[in-house]
């Protein structure tokens, strides 16, 4: 980095290493907390370092902005519920993309004002940061609105949407080329506006369980814009951090798409041809077999092996602590108990892992889908708590179903299945689950926390 003292470059190197190690730590629930703290330390180190060697204009405004942002971030992190974590991730991601776009616009202004000859690659990186950062910002706001139910979570499609998207994309390419050949602030502003429009048009047709996957994709976009911004600013630590986020976000998007049994292209544009992971969402009035807490307690208390399938409903009810107590009591009775974690259970990757870790559930009890699917045939009781789509046999048996082709947990292979549900309302994909009507299935209706409390008391009384 030109003009940067050696000590500052070393500090940036330490920060970059912290980011790499943080990403490695976050790959396992056991080390996730340390990884998160290490990444935060690296970010603080990188931000503080610049104050000790650079000549900064508007220092008071910079410090004021940092103070305001720190307060908002701290208060938001303390108050956000676990069920709202995906929305928070979407907001943070959008802010990162928007910030990168604004910085690139300012740099474009400096380039245009100086009138100096600038390399084409630098100008291309500037245009890329502006347009993709704007896409990430507006797209993330739409995903936030969908998850927060400020707007419908169903795909929003209107006549001419493909044409509008194609026209906006073409406009973005043309303005990007103009930014490289004749850099000017008005062109950059128009490019940012086109990016904002593209972000909205990209996310509107996405619905149902696809929304968290789009959050991951937009996160990759933000990482790439930060990396490009690092090149424009000649800042290595931004380049490293952005590349890490972009690469990990891309891999995560592909892994989540694979867990859904679909391609990224189908997830983004499937609704345009009638495909989406969202059905009609109508509650069924077909008869089911239901029971009380005492009957289900007998099933659990005298089983040899039980598998718990957690889902978003567990997070909504904040019942993870009660569930852990129930599992502990079953374990004291000599019953083998494990948790089956589907890759897309909840509203974001690792949602169930984080939720159960918060309740001090031992890591060795958490088993990924591929590791536990072969155990269901030897399982006496599967207890499904707030999950639906991840155990829906339609993914294997019903071509044309929104989730057809998605790998699922083989709960239907167990001897008995118990669903804890508030009502017969379908899951996030909005389609009926035939497993609810299976002769082996028993439904226990009610709030998950209240129901698990009754189950806990009943099992203790056996």
**274 versus 312: which is more confidently predicted?**
312
pLDDT of residue 276 exceeding 80: no
When mean pLDDT is compared across 41-50, 131-140, 258-267, the lowest value belongs to 258-267
**209 versus 38: which is more confidently predicted?**
38
Contact 308, 341 (CB under 8 A): no
Give per-residue pLDDT as tens, 412-426: 999 999 999 887 776
- What local confidence, expressed as pLDDT, does residue 283 receive? 55
By C-alpha distance, which of 415, 421, 459 is closest to 440? 415
Active site residue 380: no
- What local confidence, expressed as pLDDT, does residue 199 receive? 93
The one catalytic residue among 110, 328, 389, 412: 389
Top-confidence range, 207-211, 218-222, 273-277:
218-222
**146 versus 210: which is more confidently predicted?**
146
- What local confidence, expressed as pLDDT, does residue 173 receive? 95
Cα separation, 459 vs 375, whole angstroms: 24
Give per-residue pLDDT as tens, 360-405: 888 888 898 889 999 999 999 999 998 888 898 888 888 877 777 8
Top-confidence range, 1-5, 167-171, 402-406:
167-171
Structure tokens at 411: 């709960």
- What local confidence, expressed as pLDDT, does residue 171 receive? 94
Model confidence at 180, pLDDT cuts 50, 70, 90, reads very high
Instruction: Establish how many alpha carbons lie within 13 A of residue 135's alpha carbon, considering only the half-sphere containing its beta carbon.
Output: 27
- What local confidence, expressed as pLDDT, does residue 272 receive? 65
Cα separation, 236 vs 244, whole angstroms: 12
- What local confidence, expressed as pLDDT, does residue 209 receive? 67
Give per-residue pLDDT as tens, 20-56: 999 888 877 678 888 989 999 999 999 899 888 888 8
Give per-residue pLDDT as tens, 312-335: 888 888 889 999 999 999 999 999
Q: Give, to the nearest 10 degrees, the angle between helix 161-181 and helix 185-203.
A: 150
Do the bridges between strand 416-421 and strand 305-310 make them parallel or antiparallel, or are there none, so unpaired? unpaired
Environment class of 413 (CB within 10 Å of its CB; exposed 0-12, middle 13-18, buried 19+): middle
When the pLDDT of each residue in the chain is averaged and rounded to a whole number, the result is 86
Cβ of 40: how many Cβ atoms within 10 Å? 12
By C-alpha distance, which of 410, 462, 460, 461 is closest to 440? 410
pLDDT of residue 430 exceeding 70: no
Question: φ, ψ for residue 111 (rounded to 5)?
Answer: -65, -45
When mean pLDDT is compared across 202-206, 257-261, 290-294, 321-325, the lowest value belongs to 257-261
pLDDT of residue 299 exceeding 70: yes
pLDDT of residue 429 exceeding 90: no
Structure tokens at 188: 């950059």
- What local confidence, expressed as pLDDT, does residue 177 receive? 95
- What local confidence, expressed as pLDDT, does residue 115 receive? 66
**260 versus 98: which is more confidently predicted?**
98
When mean pLDDT is compared across 15-24, 154-163, 442-451, the lowest value belongs to 154-163
Cα separation, 238 vs 165, whole angstroms: 31
Cα separation, 219 vs 211, whole angstroms: 12
Region 230-236: what's the mean pLDDT? 86
Give percent above pLDDT 70 in the chain: 93
């Amino acid at each position: 980095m030109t003009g940067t003292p050696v000590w500052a470059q070393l500090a940036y190197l330490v920060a970059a290493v912290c980011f790499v190690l943080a990403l490695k730590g976050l790959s396992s629930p056991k080390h996730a907390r340390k990884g998160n703290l290490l990444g935060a330390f690296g970010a603080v180190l990188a931000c503080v370092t610049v104050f000790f060697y650079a000549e900064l204009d508007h220092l008071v405004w910079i410090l004021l902005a940092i103070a305001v942002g720190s307060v908002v971030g701290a208060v938001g992190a303390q108050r956000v519920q676990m069920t709202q974590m995906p929305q928070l991730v979407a907001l943070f991601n959008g802010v990162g993309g928007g910030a990168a776009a604004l910085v690139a616009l300012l740099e474009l202004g400096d380039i245009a004002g100086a009138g100096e000859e600038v390399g084409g690659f630098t100008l291309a990186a500037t245009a890329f940061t502006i347009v993709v950062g704007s896409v990430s910002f507006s797209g993330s706001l739409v995903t936030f609105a969908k998850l927060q139910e400020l707007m419908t979570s169903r795909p929003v499609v209107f006549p001419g949407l493909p044409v509008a998207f194609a026209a906006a994309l073409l406009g973005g390419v043309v303005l990007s080329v103009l930014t490289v050949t004749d850099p000017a602030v008005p062109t950059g502003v128009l490019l940012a506006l086109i990016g904002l429009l593209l972000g909205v048009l990209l996310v509107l047709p996405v619905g149902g369980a696809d929304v968290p996957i789009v959050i991951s994709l937009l996160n990759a976009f933000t990482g790439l814009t930060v990396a490009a911004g690092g090149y424009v600013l000649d800042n290595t630590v931004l380049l490293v951090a952005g590349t890490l986020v972009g690469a990990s976000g891309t891999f995560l998007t592909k892994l989540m798409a694979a867990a859904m049994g679909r391609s990224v292209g189908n997830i983004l544009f499937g609704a345009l041809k009638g495909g989406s992971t969202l059905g009609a969402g109508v509650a069924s009035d077909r008869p089911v077999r239901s029971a009380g807490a005492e009957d289900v307690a007998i099933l659990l208390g005298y089983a040899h092996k039980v598998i718990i399938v957690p889902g978003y409903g567990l997070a909504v009810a904040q019942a993870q602590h009660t569930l852990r107590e129930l599992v502990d009591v079953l374990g004291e009775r000599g019953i083998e108990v494990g948790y089956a974690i589907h890759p897309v259970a909840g509203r974001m990757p690792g949602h169930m892992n984080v939720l159960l870790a918060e309740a001090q559930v031992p890591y060795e009890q958490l088993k990924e889908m591929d590791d536990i699917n072969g155990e269901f045939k030897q399982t006496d009781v599967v207890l499904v708590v707030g999950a639906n789509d991840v155990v829906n046999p339609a993914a294997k048996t019903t071509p044309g179903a929104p989730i057809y082709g998605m790998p699922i947990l083989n709960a239907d292979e167990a001897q008995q299945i118990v669903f804890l549900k508030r009502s017969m309302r379908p899951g996030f994909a909005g389609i009926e689950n035939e497993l609810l009507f299976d002769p082996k299935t028993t439904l226990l209706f009610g709030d998950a926390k209240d129901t698990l409390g009754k189950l806990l008391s009943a099992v203790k009384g056996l």
